[in-house]
Structure 1
């Protein structure tokens, strides 16, 4: 008979998701069960269990043969300090099969990642707030809702902007969210998705050829979200943080963007301004 304190490591399965939700709530993460289900359906993961209780999670998402992102790495305080975080993360790294691995780290997680060879390359800034009133929006003829025929162009532009092939993720995001595109001279030059997440809505990814177009896409989404709690996570180096604060979305946190290996390179002028999620970027 196994000791009730024995901790097992196994692949994440749908039966684990309610326990994973409970674990994330321990740390006041805003995820809903639907958010866990979406993330797990697009990637893979490991769980630690003790006596039928989920006490640790770690997920990853592979993008082609060269890249992966890692996230939703949580270990309950009840078993921290005993090497379980390292055990979990080592299993994740082995499963990514020598890909370049990206993640966004909290201050608490930095030592674990640095010991595994991760180096910082930027920051993601989390902005959020209750949108009491929609901003005044000027109609722009080049911005419109996406349709099914736009998907291939959105996927191509996403890859240019982030430097990784994320076709399946982008398709899944367009299925669950509202997507706006910028079309100029018959070409897609920007897109943004707003979807239900956590306490309300998240806007991201946001990709465009310039910051002005990224702002226009964000404002167009905000125009439909009056009375909603809105979150957007932006790359610090792209310079939207001050503008978002002036728009009523306060800066409430930041994460260190890290990579083990080489970070992907966007193809100019396309840039990723806001992430889909700090875990799967």
Structure 2
């Protein structure tokens, strides 16, 4: 699909981006201080569709991605526009192009304050908020009684995948096997939680970006065990850590802020189609802002 828009005698073309465009997308990300790595953009290309406007000089000046999941839910992300090309309707056209790919789906996104009015015009409504916490240095505060005797933490291996996919679908509200398989390949740190019978009851992943470690998803039966999963990864990493926690989990947010995390921002979570979040009581952290 290709459309065109003439701006100041310059033809800007919406294109389906490919791996040959990754360096352009990373350049735009760096310009806007979004922090996308080449590996993350490559994963988005494999898991969904990435669109962008290309300038007459061949540079990508705007992007937006749509990642469809099983269960008629999709995630919208990587919405970026070069500052020189803003206020010209490029983001609107790209987002609409993404929505046209999944006309029967509910679409979820994590908005910036600047982007929220655009999404509202396109029919999105705020259904939740996401707390982004960042720790320059993690300070373990694990109370002795928190380590429960019936749990066991270990690294994730291939045989765990069926149980992880089932857990993730129940926690996220949609099946996203393709995405999770790809995200697992990128994970530098993993932790799986088993009960006494050896059954998987929770997991967490940590993915290294150019600037920090992002911990997520985190799926657990309750906030205490969610913290232990986070702690299992955070204590093995030396450096800056980011975690994105749905606002419903205030007890976990407060505890992590005693462990060296600080609130970086609160972002609106928006949806189109159905203005109600699926139940996510066991999803304690999302993977990243682009994946719902």
Please report the TM-score for the alignment, with normalisation by the length of structure 1. 0.92
SS of the aligned residue for 2:83 comes to coil
| 2:239 counterpart residue number | 228
- The equivalences for 1:57-76 within 5 A come to 57-76=63-82
Is the counterpart of residue 94 in structure 1 residue 124 in structure 2? Answer: no
Q: CA deviation at 1:97?
A: 2.6
User: Once structures 1 and 2 are overlaid, which stretch shifts more, 232-241 or 171-180?
Assistant: 171-180
- Would the aligned equivalents of 1:135 and 1:222 in 2 still touch at CA under 8 Å? no
Deviations 1:94-151 (A, max 9, x none): 0123211000111111111111111111111111132266666977652222221111
Change (3 A) 1:37 1:135: farther
Q: Distance in 1 between matches of 2:139 and 2:198?
A: 33
RMSD: 2.0
Is the counterpart of residue 122 in structure 1 residue 124 in structure 2? Answer: no
- Would the aligned equivalents of 1:144 and 1:182 in 2 still touch at CA under 8 Å? yes
| 2:214 counterpart residue number | 202
- Would the aligned equivalents of 1:9 and 1:47 in 2 still touch at CA under 8 Å? yes
SS of the aligned residue for 2:62 comes to strand
User: What 5-or-longer segments of structure 2 have no aligned partner?
Assistant: 1-5
Is the counterpart of residue 266 in structure 1 residue 276 in structure 2? Answer: no
Q: CA deviation at 1:217?
A: 0.5
Q: Distance in 1 between matches of 2:142 and 2:267?
A: 31
Q: Distance in 2 between matches of 1:205 and 1:102?
A: 16
Q: Distance in 2 between matches of 1:137 and 1:58?
A: 43
Deviations 1:250-275 (A, max 9, x none): 111121001002245237xx511100
Is the counterpart of residue 144 in structure 1 residue 154 in structure 2? Answer: yes
| 1:173 counterpart residue number | 183
Is the counterpart of residue 24 in structure 1 residue 29 in structure 2? Answer: yes
- The equivalences for 1:32-43 within 5 A come to 32-43=37-48
| 1:14 counterpart residue number | 19
Change (3 A) 1:105 1:61: same
User: Once structures 1 and 2 are overlaid, which stretch shifts more, 207-216 or 172-181?
Assistant: 172-181
- Would the aligned equivalents of 1:136 and 1:223 in 2 still touch at CA under 8 Å? no
| 2:201 counterpart residue number | 189
Among 146, 151, 164, which residue is 1:154 paired with?
164
Is the counterpart of residue 280 in structure 1 residue 286 in structure 2? Answer: no
- The equivalences for 1:97-108 within 5 A come to 97-108=103-114
Q: CA deviation at 1:175?
A: 2.0
Please report the TM-score for the alignment, with normalisation by the length of structure 2. 0.88
Q: CA deviation at 1:191?
A: 0.7
Is the counterpart of residue 112 in structure 1 residue 153 in structure 2? Answer: no
Q: Distance in 2 between matches of 1:12 and 1:26?
A: 19
Q: CA deviation at 1:4?
A: 6.8
- Would the aligned equivalents of 1:12 and 1:47 in 2 still touch at CA under 8 Å? yes
- Would the aligned equivalents of 1:193 and 1:203 in 2 still touch at CA under 8 Å? yes
